[in-house]
Amino acid sequence: MTAQTQEPRTSRRRAPIALTIGVLAVLVIAFFVFIGLYADVLWYDQLGFLEVLTTQWVARTVLFLIGFVAMALPVWASIQIAYRTRPVYAKLNSQLDRYQEVFEPLRRLAMYGIPVVLGIFAGVSTSSRWDLTLTWLNRTPFGSTDPQFGFDLGFYVFELPFYRSIIGFASAVVLLSLLLVAATNYLYGAIRVSGREVVISKSARVQIAITAGLYLLLQGVSIWFDQYATVTESGSLITGAAYTDVNAVIPGRQILAVAAIGVAVLFVVTAIIGRWRLPLVGVALLVVSSLLIGTLYPWVIQRFQVDPSPRTLEAPYIQRNIDLTRDAYGVADIEEIPFEAKTDAEPGALRSDAETTANIRLMDPLVISPAFQQLEQFRQYYQFPEALDVDRYQIDGKTQDTVVAVRDLKLSGLGDAETWYNSHIVYTHGYGLVAAAGNQRSAGGQPVFVQSGIPSTGDLGEFEPRVYFGENSPDYSIVGAPEDTKPVELDYPAGGDNDEQTQTTFEGDGGPKLDNVFTKLAYALKFQSEQIFLSDAVNTTSQILYDRDPIERVRKVAPYLTPDSDAYPSVVDGKLVWIVDAYTLTDQYPYSNKVSMSEAIADSESLPQTLPFDEVNYIRNSVKATVDAYDGSVTLYAWDAEDPILKTWQKVFPSTIEPMSKMSGDLLSHVRYPADMFKMQRAVLGRYHVTDASAFYSREDAWTTPKEPTQAANTTLLQPPYYLTMQMPGQEVPSYSLYSTFIPEASGDQSRNVLRGYLAVDADAGSTDGERAEGYGKLRLLTLPEDDNVPGPGQVQATFNSDPTVSQSLNLLKQGQSDVINGNLLTVPVGGGLLYVQPVYVKSTGNTSYPLLQKVLVAFGDQIAFQDTLDLALDVLFGGDSGADAGDQAVDPGATPETPAEGEGEGDGATDGSTGGEAPSEEMQQLLREASGFLKAKQAALADGDWAAYGAADAQLAETIAKMLALTNGE
């Protein structure tokens, strides 16, 4: 047998082997895909959100099929028509003959394979737009119209993007068909090039002309829709159609659209009469027209008409931009309050703001995490986050602002004991919520805990303390066991010096059940761990908990929402839950300025992050979500039920969102105004607090958020907003609020760190079942006069850092290898002005040390004070008697704010030892006069640069205040 006969046989034997390997590879890939889909079904079904998954699957599948057919069928038909109408006796040159010889064996594969491959790509692309399609099908009108075309705003949010995507897809189909038709006709001789002459057969001419005409028709429709997009496009001045757009770009696009349709008609005429000159001339004229009408004419209008008089001509369009931007970001109803801030610290100035003063938070959630870790961690396998959260609770009938954190697991703390069994079977959950009073400290400067310990005890009542779902939970845990089985999950350490532990068994419904062999196998493959399949700890009652981060859970069950960057824990109705704010966003709101969300929410608390939807120009806090820390159940509440985008998605997923009326009063008492939305609003209000178009154009009163004052001078991090209980001008009583400040917008050395605005929002949602407090979400903006140079945060921080007395005290604190940490610099509107408060912590350099609150810096106007407590500092600042009780006298570490330590009075705002309504005694009045004199002498010495006199006056002032305190306490 010859080698030539053996080779075909060998090839024939290899073919089935290759085919078998290929089939097996496809089956393996399909199996792993199925495993992933199966796990998703179990996860969503257990949570009760299977509808979200199946709706996406159905939409994606239908759109894939539509995209596949819409691409593959026209392309296949075009190739088939071109091939079947080819000339039978065409004279081909030798090169084309060789091409045909190579191509002919592959012709059938190519004629079907090319449409199929293009169809698959088109189907995948189309299926990815499932959200756009579903919102178009379920669109909800906004009820307002745009000022340029008069369409409902929902046309731009839901319809225009859909129509433009359809036109873009159709254009791609026709263009690919045109190219393949031309290639097929050329290959088979229907198009021949002879010297300078191009010969086209009749059948090829008809097909090419009609296809080209269809493409030009689609371009005309596309250009027509492009005119509507001008109201959502960002220009050099504003977002939206400005003067040049309205008077040149829009009319130009209308003309070009009609011209493109006219050229399309000429191609149809060519298909009939066979003359190519008319459509080719039409195409050339269309190109020239697009340059003249679409580019040159707008440039001429802008250069010679608008640029000489922009303030006048652009004013109406700037006003549109101002009005619709304020609407889109929810700041149209902001209350602007002119504020003549006092800068003189007069005695008794805080008497009317006693409640606000008593709630000034001294515990900085970004600083005291090490204190939580050292005092409340207990075991190396627990941890607290670096940035704590703030909340408030009703304790003994009074609202107490708190700093809170969950004691979560830290598996890396197990060291050598971090085995698979321990990591996924034994150590399954964190334990307890730890809460410290925001305005209290112990005698040593430690936090005063209102909820702490293991087991958890305190003033927050009875609640389920186990945290199976948290921000730092393990990637997965396997929990649950039969009733008669001995518990193996670590619940919490028993305490003491021994290693005793308390075990528990998860009794909730928190994850898919591993109740059969196939499910075990599926999750063993998903998490690439054979132990899930082999371990005897996995039984028919076991559940697997995964995707445990509360923000991630909300994102998965509501893919149309953008969660806030911070989830915070609260004790609600006897449960520990995570509260997550979520937003509906769009970048298609007409005339609204576009803002980078990642940049707007980045500050010293939240570093820049990558967001799937970044450039936006509309935001609503449409949903409040809760995630149960024990069983992971997710509940979505429609917080802004009037939002058209949320209404649209409720039509898509009708059973996934609960009405706000189902929110309990206890839950509402912990709901707050979301920080990320507030940051977006302050980013917009930096410019859009100006409502006059002429002033807006000149940017004569543009503001910006101050840089973080406690960071280095060259920092780019912004100062974050802060939650405080305070009373703004216009409010009758203090409320839980979120605030930020503004300074003039400038750059480099020209920046002036003086206050120009103070923005606050009422963040208290009330405590009545199903009813939101009337004032919730009310924005108030204090505007300071141009000639009123109230120092901004950076200027105040610089004053603190450069003050010689403060520096001397800080140097003393730094002795013994200790670090001094400046806490958050708070700005509080009290006493008719703006009070700055900054806690100062001292931390030794040892590995087990943590920051201790030792001093408090305060400033009012250009006057500062630096004392051991806020009470003392305010009294010093306000001439010996601030008129209010800050309530931060050092207390017993075991005492709560409601159980004052020995020698600590309840306080009612009076600081003279008498009852609130009685006049100070004669001795107290004499001490007040002396304190006022020493304060003036101190200020005069500071102005003269006489540091010796300054120190003497400061010492005399401190001695006088000590006498006043002794007299007040009856010592």
| pLDDT tens digits, 540-583 | 999 999 999 999 999 999 999 999 999 999 999 999 999 999 99
Q: Span 237-255, mean pLDDT?
A: 95
What is the number of other CB atoms lying within 10 angstroms of the CB of residue 799? 17
Helix (H) / strand (E) element for 149: namely none
Q: What is the mean pLDDT of residues 67-78?
A: 96
Q: Say what the pTM is.
A: 0.87
Longest dimension (CA), the chain: 130
- Report residue 591 as tokens: 């005339």
Pairwise CA distance, residues 861 & 858, whole Å: 10
Q: Which residues pair with residue 513 across a beta bridge?
A: 543
Whether the predicted pLDDT of 920 surpasses 80: no
Give Cα separations from 56 to 59, 67, 91 (angstroms).
Answer: 5, 16, 54
Listing DSSP states for 793-854 in one string gives HHHHHHHHHH-HHHHHHHHHHTTTTEEEEE---EEEEETTEEEEEEEEEEEESSTT---EEE
pLDDT of 893 reads: 45
How many angstroms from the chain centroid is the CA of residue 188?
A: 58
- Which range is least confidently modeled, 244-248, 606-610, 664-668, 863-867? 606-610
Going by pLDDT thresholds of 50, 70 and 90, the confidence category of residue 613 is confident
Q: pLDDT tens, 285-333?
A: 999 999 999 999 999 999 999 999 999 999 999 999 999 999 999 999 9
> How do residues 687-746 score in pLDDT, each as one tens digit?
999 999 999 998 888 999 999 999 888 888 999 999 999 999 888 889 999 999 999 987
Contact 761, 778 (CB under 8 A): yes
What's the pLDDT score for residue 499?
57
Structure confidence at residue 85 (pLDDT): 86
Q: How far is CA 561 from the centre of its chain?
A: 10
**pLDDT 10s digits, 773-782:** 999 999 999 9
Task: Give the separation between CA 590 and CA 277, rounded to whole angstroms.
Answer: 42
> What's the confidence (pLDDT) of residue 190?
78
The residue ranking higher by pLDDT, 431 or 13, is 431
CA distances from 504 to 464, 486, 490, 509, 771 (A): 13, 9, 6, 15, 38
Q: Where are the beta strands (DSSP E) in 465-574?
A: 466-467, 476-479, 489-493, 501-504, 543-546, 562-563, 568-572
- With 60 as the cut, is the pLDDT of residue 281 above it? yes
Query: Which pLDDT value is given to residue 700?
Result: 82
